[in-house]
Amino acid sequence: MRILITEEALQSGTGHWPSYIGDIAAALRSSGDDVDVATHRAATGNVLTRVGGTPWFSRNCWVDPRSQGGVGGILHNFGFKKEVLSWLAGHAPYDWICALTMRLQHLLAFALLARSGAVPKKTRFFLLFVQGFGRYAGHGKPTEFPESLSTKLARFSFSLMSGSVQSGRVILAAETKGMQDELQRFTGLPVTLAPHPVEFQLSRESRDASRDGRSEPELQSDSSFRSQVGLPGRYSVSVASGLDFDPSSSPSVHPVHPVAASGSGSRPSTLDPRPSTQPITFTITCPGFARHEKGTDLFQEAIRILLARPDADDFRFVLQWPEPFAMPDGTMLGPDPSLVEDPRVEFLNQNLNSEEYASLLARTDLIVLPYRRKSYHHRVSRVAIEAEKMGIPIIYTEGTWSGEVADLSGCGVQIAEERPDSVADAIVKAVAEFPFLKEKARNGAASVSAFHSVATLRKILQNE
């Protein structure tokens, strides 16, 4: 197959985006497909190398203020359409044009491209939606569709696209069952459930060897890592391996200031395992940068509850918290000073490269994902996929997308309510059932790996 991947937001090289697209492109090429990746024209050299891309698009709708709002979004669509047509005019016909992070700023463009005589008839479109058009209505309730200029533009675009979808020229896709349902209700059109390919993998043998203390990858200290990338020690970069796939979070560098009300920055960490004189029974990790929507505040309070138990020394906790984050009331929350000083709690204040992230997961027994439903009811958690692929049981909030991964693997413990005591209860339950959960996670890892793969994506393109 000849495939064009259009990703205007591939620009600065931060977050999971380059590795996500790069892994997909590389796996497709390894399968014999001819793949082009059109990036932002200001993409860094590292991005272009990672994805095998070509600089092309003039705007990044995620961060360009000219592309925001109703009028800005419409103008972006027409500019995007023009640049896609310009690319197609200079290349041999494609079997597929794939947009793997569809937004409203692209929707009208693709509706018009699917009807355009300037696009070869053999070319089809695979449009993967990471955002929908609904509004969270509460746990267990279907999303609502508010009337706005954005939803009117979306409905108009889907109406233009309807014939192309029905004929099979355009494939609408979603990565979660919740988003699939939302889009089908909104559009009245068929929507394909697609994988979120995660090629990152630590072999079971490597993980077991690390957990048994037989080996451990070489790791960088926080100061060493910063000196290599040219950062002063008082800064933290808002991007890391192991974060959830969230293109809407624009990359930035922020100074870390003390937070008087709730704690200051965390102590440096080398990511090295605890000394053998401090035995670890269960290492419980919450990967990804601390955020309110990720429930980091709930997890921190749950840790306080668990460390007050008689069996507190059985626990070790790891959080990635390089800088304070905003709470809904506007206050900034940082690590609790008493936990910063507790040897049973480890705060990582650095970015994790792939090797460091793999090392962290290699010494993890349980992963906690206390995400809030309002943000994660239909939103993919890449961490959940990575954990389940590696046979690590997850603890997740009931009603969030992570439950789909748990169902696929047959392993997971639900957090019933978005409260610290519920998080603590779920952790206690997971520890009590750990041998059973571990066996289930090991047995279910293959199912998660098989579905959330480029091979599954390729089958969709071949069979549609």
Please indicate, yes or no, whether residues 30 and 135 belong to a single structural domain of this protein.
yes
H-helix or E-strand containing 56?
strand 53-57
Please indicate, yes or no, whether residues 186 and 327 belong to a single structural domain of this protein.
no
Q: Count CA within 13 A, CB hemisphere, residue 457.
A: 29
- Which pLDDT value is given to residue 32? 95
CATH number at residue 59: 3.40.50.11930
Please indicate, yes or no, whether residues 285 and 386 belong to a single structural domain of this protein.
yes
H-helix or E-strand containing 368?
strand 366-369
Other CB atoms within 10 A of residue 230 CB: 6
Angstrom distance (rounded) from CA 344 to CA 342: 5
pTM of the complete model:
0.79
What domain count does the chain have? 2
Helix, strand, coil shares of the chain, percent, nearest 5, are 40, 15, 40
- Domain range spanning residue 109? 2-198+454-463
240-296 pLDDT, tens digit each: 333 333 333 333 322 232 333 333 333 333 344 444 333 357 999 998 889 999 999
319-344 pLDDT, tens digit each: 999 899 999 999 999 999 999 999 99
- Which pLDDT value is given to residue 70? 78
286-323 pLDDT, tens digit each: 988 899 999 999 999 999 999 999 999 999 999 999 89
Please indicate, yes or no, whether residues 301 and 274 belong to a single structural domain of this protein.
yes
Angstrom distance (rounded) from CA 323 to CA 234: 10
> Residues in the chain with pLDDT < 50?
203-279
Please indicate, yes or no, whether residues 134 and 223 belong to a single structural domain of this protein.
no
- Which pLDDT value is given to residue 14? 62
The letter for the amino acid at 320 is Q
Q: How far is CA 230 from CA 237, 260, 348, in A?
A: 11, 29, 19
- Which pLDDT value is given to residue 202? 53
